[in-house]
Amino acid sequence: MKAVVRRVAVEVLGWVLVVAGVAALVLPGPGLLMIFAGLVVLSQEYEWAERRLEPVKIRALRGAAEGVENRRRIAFSTTIAVGLIGCGALWIWGPAAPGWWPLGEQWWLPGGAATGVTQVASGLIAIGLIVYSYRRFRIRGEPVPELSDRRDDEADRDDEAGTADRDAGN
């Protein structure tokens, strides 16, 4: 019974993270991070999720390395993250709509404080990831991982399977 409860909990948590991550791709929030976290959770139960983790991880690390390639990218990313925190603070504060606002009051800062909290959290996560990427790829100089060609991996697996079949036949 305990194993069934664990499996259901893992599946529910994993899928909630994946679906929320997809939603956060278009809404305020760390979408890609949530999708990756969902895949990590689902990989405990599903082989297909485990197989997709490594390519996602490599692409994420390559994106992180490219994001801190030069000072202009670092400054731009940091400015956007700080701006996101500022917008979140505005949403949390919730001032009345200004006189120049052409739409109705309900369209001024929609979502209220909850939207502001997710924006602030996203901005803080972004700053944390910028610092992590800078330290890893600029200060420590770690190499950027390469994404292997999928066809080469499949050929290697086919070669290994063929060798195992030949060995079993001898």
pLDDT at 170: 45
Task: Sketch the domain layout of the chain as residue ranges.
Answer: 1-59, 68-97+105-143
Distance (Å, rounded) from C-alpha 60 to C-alpha 49?
16
pLDDT at 165: 47
Mean pLDDT of successive 10-residue segments in the chain (170 residues)?
90 92 76 84 90 84 87 94 95 91 89 89 90 92 78 51 48
Contact criterion met (CB below 8 Å) for 40 and 18? no
pLDDT at 155: 46
pLDDT at 72: 95
CA atoms 115, 116, 120, 126: torsion sign: positive
